[in-house]
Amino acid sequence: MAPSSPVSPASPSLTSPTLRVGLFGIGLDAYWPQFAGLKERLEGYLARVGAKLSRPGVEIVNVGLVDSADRAQSAGRELRRADVDIVFLYVTTYALSSTVLPVIQRARVPVIVLNLAPEPAIDYARFNQLGDRTRMTGEWLAYCAACPVPEIANVFKRAGIPFHQVTGVLEDDPVCWNEIDGWVEAARVVAGMRDNRLGLMGHYYSGMLDIYSDVTLQCATFGTQVEILEVDELAALRREVPAAEITRRVAEIRQTFDVQSDCEADDLAEAARTSLALDQMVRRYRLGSMAYYYKGTGVAENETTLASIILGTSLLTGQGVPVAGEYEVKNVQAMKIMDLLGVGGSFTEYYAMDFKADVVLMGHDGPGHIRIAEGKTKVRPLKVYHGKVGRGLSVEMAVRHGPVTLLSIVEGADGKLALLCAEGESVAGPILEIGNTNSRYRFACGAREFVNRWNAHGPAHHCAVGIGHVTAKLEKVAQLLGLACIRVV
């Protein structure tokens, strides 16, 4: 994919797994012989919800209308066998809470209660002219979704089951359905994080105390699987790369990036060689993300490997396998979350502040998310990597101009993780042409106040930036994970 291709906030990551969404409606079996056609009508509404929830990468497991305690037990087992990631409970009419609790207890996944009326309002004149109070009661029951929600909420609270609600109309209610779509996307992120394999190669940058993280806590919180990688293995893979493949990868690099004229052919060949070795390592360990740093001093082959890694890691990041430098475990998790939301997630940190323009300059050396770049990402040669061993090629890009969201995974003194996020705008203007990612960001509260408010929450000095304003979805991700979500405004 070309680096200037649009990335929609609604587009899943290139590596998103299939999301399994459980769905059931509720009713009361005593109603069916009393009110002709009511059950079939409600089943039609349920089918409509299933159709609206369906989308690419989502499998709907619809276990139908649950109308008795016995059916609740079997429906719960069906959802559990289907290994659903989230359950949508569509409240179609009044139902006993005993038809709900067993389903959720057995499914053991987050539940979203849909309190959706079939129409914005009852046609009172038509309703009152039906002339048959049995028909009138059946008609009313098709509209009384709101009736059992307090009962369901009461039982969930007493049973210690977290739940979330969406209230609105089945059709032509964009506010309601945007909210529901947000829950689907949040569930996709949570499922993607649980299925993700994170490769860790090398070691922390010595002295960066803020980025040191409890990897077990990351696994326990997100379900991430961690694979410890060896730089020596990557160097060994480089030795076996055929010359013809290097030639093809150099051509791909020239097509994907804006390679500057002062880049040397030997440096491009080394970057291509390392990129191909990285691809092999990603395939070998089925990686969905990666964090790395290694001094490489004393072993020339390892130093060359790490010095030539930036183009390959940028290509991977643009292909849905985000890579963070400086062994930044917390931040590659943030990058993966943003990537699963389809908004990018580029590795960044504070560079400087421009008080005249009231913007914050942010970027980083190493990988950039080329799919969210403003124009084509440049490749420039560097004689030194500041603070790091080696020299070679690096990427220079700005994040696409327009709305952006910043995300940081914060590890607190209480030993818990939290999401820290903020919305801003990537704006045009001069940047530092130093061969690194570099953007100008404007925030509603102003640069000075934003920096104070962001830093007050104690994040690491890195964060992930993605295009679009997606804090509402990040808040849902946090709720599904049981985490606090702090929004800086």
Give the closest residue to 42 by CA, choosing from 108, 114, 102: 114
- Expressed in angstroms, the distance from the first to the final Cα of the chain is 34
Structure confidence at residue 16 (pLDDT): 62
Tokens of 188: 């996709």
Distances from the Cα of 174 to the Cα of 168, 171, 315, 378, 407, angstroms: 9, 8, 37, 40, 26
Residues 6+ apart with CB under 8 A from 245: 276
pLDDT the model gives residue 388: 64
With 0-12 / 13-18 / 19 or more C-beta atoms within 10 angstroms meaning exposed / middle / buried, residue 266 is exposed
CATH architecture of 196-488: Alpha-Beta Barrel (3.20)
**Helices 174-195/38-53 angle, 10° precision:** 60
Residue ranges per structural domain of the chain: 19-193, 196-488
Distance between CA atoms of residues 147 and 141, nearest Å: 9
Say which DSSP state 472 is in.
H
pLDDT given at position 6: 41
Please tell me the distance from the alpha carbon of residue 212 to that of residue 206, in angstroms, as a whole number: 10
Contact present, 211 and 327 (Cβ < 8 Å): yes
- The phi and psi torsions of 164 (rounded to 5 degrees) equal -135, 150
> Buried b vs exposed e over 413-430: b needs ≥16 C-beta within 10 Å?
eeeebbbbbbbbebbeee
Would you state the pLDDT for residue 386? 61
* AA letter at 264: E
pLDDT value of position 290: 97
**What's the CATH architecture for 19-193?**
3-Layer(aba) Sandwich (3.40)
Q: How far from the centroid of its chain's Cα atoms is residue 76's Cα? A: 28
Strand order of the sheet with strand 86-91?
A: 58-66, 19-26, 86-91, 111-117, 163-169
Give the pLDDT confidence score for residue 86 in this predicted structure: 98
Q: Do 196-488 and 19-193 have the same topology in CATH? A: no
Candidates 183, 152, 147, 187; CA nearest to 166 is: 183
pLDDT attached to residue 1: 34
Residues 6+ away with beta carbon under 8 Å from 169: 116, 117, 118, 119, 120, 176
Predicted local confidence at residue 8, as pLDDT = 45
Grouping H, G, I as helix, E, B as strand and the rest as coil, residue 424 is strand
Identify whether the C-beta of residue 203 lies closer than 8 Å to the C-beta of residue 174: no
pLDDT tens for the chain, residues 1 to 489: 333 334 544 454 555 668 999 999 999 999 999 999 999 999 999 999 999 999 999 999 999 999 999 999 999 999 999 999 999 999 999 999 999 999 999 999 999 999 999 999 999 999 999 888 899 999 999 999 999 999 999 999 999 999 999 999 999 999 999 999 999 999 999 999 999 999 999 999 889 999 999 999 999 999 999 999 999 999 999 999 999 999 999 999 999 999 999 999 999 999 999 999 999 999 999 999 999 999 877 788 988 898 899 999 999 999 999 999 999 999 999 999 999 999 999 999 999 999 999 999 999 888 899 999 999 999 998 877 766 666 789 999 999 999 999 999 999 999 999 999 999 999 999 988 888 889 999 999 999 999 999 999 999 999 999 999 999 999 999 999 999 999 999
